[in-house]
C-alpha cells in the first residue's frame, strides 16, 4: 500500500497554486492552521491571484488598482480591507465644511451638452460609464474618453426613464435593460423594457427581449430595476407595487401583483421582501431553479421559511468580496423600530448544498432618507439643499455608538453614482463626467 499523501507533503509551489484558486476567506482560514501554511498563504503571488479574481468578479475597478504587480502583500491586504470598510478618507474626520479629499480624478468631455442628465453609472470594471441624457443612453469608454455607443427609443413619443446593466465575463459585451414609457394618443401610456446586448468591439447592439410592463398612473413608474445573469426584475409604482421577473434567456416573464415588497437578484437565488399579517416584514430566499418551475405560480408558494423579521422599508444586497455565496444585506429601518432612521447590516450565507443562514445585525449607518445607491461599506450619500447644496454621508459603525461623524462628499446636486466596492463617486457637471477615487 502506498503511503498516504498529506496536504503538507505537497511541494510549496503546488500549495501556492491551490491557494491562488481559493477565495479570501479560505486562504485566511488555512493561514491560521500552522506557521508553514501561514507563510505560503501570505505570499505575494497568492494575493495577486486573489486580487485578479476580484477583478474577474467585477468587484475591483481597473482604475482603482491599475498596477497590481507594483503592490506588496500588505498593500493588497489593505485594498481588501478598504473594500469592506470603505476608504480611510471616508472614515476619518475632516475639518468642517471641507470636501473629503480624493486621490485621483478622471474627467470625460462629451461633445454634446449635458442639459438633461437623469442618471449616471460607472460600471464595476471601471472601463465604461453609462449616462441617460437628452432621452438617449450613452456608453462612454473611460480610458479613451470617447462615446462608443448610443441607444435611442425606436418609437416616437417615448421617454427613456431608467436602465440597469451588467458586464458578463470576458469583457467583450454589456447586457443592458432600458426602461421606457411610450405616450400614445388619447392620453394612453404604456411601459416597456428593452434588454439589449452591446458588442464593445463593433460598438453595436441587438435586442435580446422586449416586454410590456404593467400599467401605471404615474409618468415615472419604475421604482426598482436590476439585471443579473439570465434574470431581470422591475418594480412598477402602483398601490401595491407590481413586480415583473424576466428570464431573458428563455424569453419568459411573469408579474406578481399581490406583494407589497421588493425583489432582489442574487447569484443563484432571488430575495423576496414581504409584509406579514402581524405588520412586520419578512425576507425569503428562493432558488432560481425553483423559479423556473413556477413561473406562473403565486410567489408566496415559492418562498421557504428561512427569513429574518424586522420592520423596514427596503433591502440592499452586496456580494461579499471574501467568499462567493456570502452577502452583506443592508436593510433600511424606520423610526418604528429605532429612534432614528438608518441602515442596519446583516450577513447572509447561502451554501451550494444547505439552508441560508443569517448573522447580525453588525453595522449601523444613520440615513434620513432611503438611499438609492451606496457602497458595500454602508456610506450612504444624502442629498442636501439649503445651507449646503450637495451630498454628505454619515460614517457607519457598530450600533449603539451614538451620533456619527458627517462628512461632505460632493458640492453638486446632479445625479451621482457611488461605486459598490472601489470607493468611486461619479457625477455630472454641465460639460463633463467626473469620476473621483478615494483611499
The count of structural domains within the chain is: 1
Residue 69 included in any domain: yes
What does the alpha-carbon distance between residue 177 and residue 162 come to, in Å, rounded to a whole number? Answer: 8
Average pLDDT over residues 293-301: 44
233 forms beta bridges with 226, 245
Residue 175 included in any domain: no
User: Residue 427 to residues 362, 411, 438: CA-CA distances in angstroms?
Assistant: 30, 10, 14
Bigger pLDDT: 292 vs 62: 62
Please calculate the CA angle 166-172-175 and round it to the nearest 5 degrees.
30
Name the packing angle between helices 44-56 and 24-31 (round to 10°).
160
Q: How confident is the model at residue 404 (pLDDT cuts 50, 70, 90)?
A: low
Q: Is the pLDDT of residue 257 over 80?
A: no
Q: Is the pLDDT of residue 253 over 60?
A: yes
Domain containing 19 equals 7-85
User: Where are the alpha helices (H) located in 259-343, listed in sequence order?
Assistant: 288-293
CB-based contacts of 426, cutoff 8 Å, min separation 6: 120, 121, 122, 129, 416, 417, 419, 433, 434, 435, 436
CB-based contacts of 278, cutoff 8 Å, min separation 6: none
- The rounded Cα 337 to chain-centroid distance in angstroms is 26
Q: Is the pLDDT of residue 126 over 60?
A: yes
Phi, psi (deg, nearest 5) at residue 223 = -80, -40
Residue 51 included in any domain: yes
Q: Is the pLDDT of residue 207 over 90?
A: yes
What does the alpha-carbon distance between residue 49 and residue 26 come to, in Å, rounded to a whole number? Answer: 14
Q: Take residue 96 and report the three cell numbers written for it.
A: 468642517
Note whether 133 and 163 are within 8 A (CB). no
Name the packing angle between helices 44-56 and 12-20 (round to 10°).
20
Name the packing angle between helices 73-85 and 44-56 (round to 10°).
40
Q: Is the pLDDT of residue 144 over 70?
A: yes
What's the pTM?
0.89
Considering just the CA atoms, what is the radius of gyration of the chain in Å? 23
Least confident of 92-101, 218-227, 420-429: 92-101
Residue 100 included in any domain: no
Note whether 167 and 176 are within 8 A (CB). no
Q: What is the pLDDT of residue 305?
A: 35
Q: Kindly state the percentage of the chain with pLDDT values over 70.
A: 88
Q: pLDDT by residue (tens digit) across 169-192? A: 767 899 999 999 998 877 788 999
Mapped onto helix, strand or coil, the DSSP state of residue 52 is: helix
**Dihedral of alpha carbons 279, 285, 290, 292, sign:** positive
Q: What is the pLDDT of residue 56?
A: 86
Bigger pLDDT: 233 vs 254: 233
Q: Take residue 289 and report the three cell numbers written for it.
A: 431553479
Q: Is the pLDDT of residue 129 over 60?
A: yes
| Residues listed for the chain | 439
CB-based contacts of 261, cutoff 8 Å, min separation 6: 241, 243, 272, 273, 274, 275, 281
Residue 12 included in any domain: yes
Q: What is the pLDDT of residue 138?
A: 95
Q: What is the pLDDT of residue 32?
A: 95
Q: pLDDT by residue (tens digit) across 28-80? A: 999 999 999 999 999 999 999 999 899 888 898 888 887 888 889 999 999 99
Q: How confident is the model at residue 198 (pLDDT cuts 50, 70, 90)?
A: very high
Q: Take residue 305 and report the three cell numbers written for it.
A: 421559511
Q: Is the pLDDT of residue 221 over 60?
A: yes
Note whether 44 and 16 are within 8 A (CB). no
Average pLDDT over residues 361-378: 80
Residue 293 included in any domain: no
DSSP 36: H
What does the alpha-carbon distance between residue 249 and residue 118 come to, in Å, rounded to a whole number? Answer: 29
Residue 303 included in any domain: no
Bigger pLDDT: 115 vs 376: 376
Residue 214 included in any domain: no
Quick one: residue 88, left, alpha or beta (phi over 0 = left, psi -120 to 50 = alpha)? alpha
Note whether 33 and 26 are within 8 A (CB). no
Q: Is the pLDDT of residue 376 over 80?
A: yes
- Determine the longest span between alpha carbons in the chain, in angstroms: 86
Amino acid at each position: 500500500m502506498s503511503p498516504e499523501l498529506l496536504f503538507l507533503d505537497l511541494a510549496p509551489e503546488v500549495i501556492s497554486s491551490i491557494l491562488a484558486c481559493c477565495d479570501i476567506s479560505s486562504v485566511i482560514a488555512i493561514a491560521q492552521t500552522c506557521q508553514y501554511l501561514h507563510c505560503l498563504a501570505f505570499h505575494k503571488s497568492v494575493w495577486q491571484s486573489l486580487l485578479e479574481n476580484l477583478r474577474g468578479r467585477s468587484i475591483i475597478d481597473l482604475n482603482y488598482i491599475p498596477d497590481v504587480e507594483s503592490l506588496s502583500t500588505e498593500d493588497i491586504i489593505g485594498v481588501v480591507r478598504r473594500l469592506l470598510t470603505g476608504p480611510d478618507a471616508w472614515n476619518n474626520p475632516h475639518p468642517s465644511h471641507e470636501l473629503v479629499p480624493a486621490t485621483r480624478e478622471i474627467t470625460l468631455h462629451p461633445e454634446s451638452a449635458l442639459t438633461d442628465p437623469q442618471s449616471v453609472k460607472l460600471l464595476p470594471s471601471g472601463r465604461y460609464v453609462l449616462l441617460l441624457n437628452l432621452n438617449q443612453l450613452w456608453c462612454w469608454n473611460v480610458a479613451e474618453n470617447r462615446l462608443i455607443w448610443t441607444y435611442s427609443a425606436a418609437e416616437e413619443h417615448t421617454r427613456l426613464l431608467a436602465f440597469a446593466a451588467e458586464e458578463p465575463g470576458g469583457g467583450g459585451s454589456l447586457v443592458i435593460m432600458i426602461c421606457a414609457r411610450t405616450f400614445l394618443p388619447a392620453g394612453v401610456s404604456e411601459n416597456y423594457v428593452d434588454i439589449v446586448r452591446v458588442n464593445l468591439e463593433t460598438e453595436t447592439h441587438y435586442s435580446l427581449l422586449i416586454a410590456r410592463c404593467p400599467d401605471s398612473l404615474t409618468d415615472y413608474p419604475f421604482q426598482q430595476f436590476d439585471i443579473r445573469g439570465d434574470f431581470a426584475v422591475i418594480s412598477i409604482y402602483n398601490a401595491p407595487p407590481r413586480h415583473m421577473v424576466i428570464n431573458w434567456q428563455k424569453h419568459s416573464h411573469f408579474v406578481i401583483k399581490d406583494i407589497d415588497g421588493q425583489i432582489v437578484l442574487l447569484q443563484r437565488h432571488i430575495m423576496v421582501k414581504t409584509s406579514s399579517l402581524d405588520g412586520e416584514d419578512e425576507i425569503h430566499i428562493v432558488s432560481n431553479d425553483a423559479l423556473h418551475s413556477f413561473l406562473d405560480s403565486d410567489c408566496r408558494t415559492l418562498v421557504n421559511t428561512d427569513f429574518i423579521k424586522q420592520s423596514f422599508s427596503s433591502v440592499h444586497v452586496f456580494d461579499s468580496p471574501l467568499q462567493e455565496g456570502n452577502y452583506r444585506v443592508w436593510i433600511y429601518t424606520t423610526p418604528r423600530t429605532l429612534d432614528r432612521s438608518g441602515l442596519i447590516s446583516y450577513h447572509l450565507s447561502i451554501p451550494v448544498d444547505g439552508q441560508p443562514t443569517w448573522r447580525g445585525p453588525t453595522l449601523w449607518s444613520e440615513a434620513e432618507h432611503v438611499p438609492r445607491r451606496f457602497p458595500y461599506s454602508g456610506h450612504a450619500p444624502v442629498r442636501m439643499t439649503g445651507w449646503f447644496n450637495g451630498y454628505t454621508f454619515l460614517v457607519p459603525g457598530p450600533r449603539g455608538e451614538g451620533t456619527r461623524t458627517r462628512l461632505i462628499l460632493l458640492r453638486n446636486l446632479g445625479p451621482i453614482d457611488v461605486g459598490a466596492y472601489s470607493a468611486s463617486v461619479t457625477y455630472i457637471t454641465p460639460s463633463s463626467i467626473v469620476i473621483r477615487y478615494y483611499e
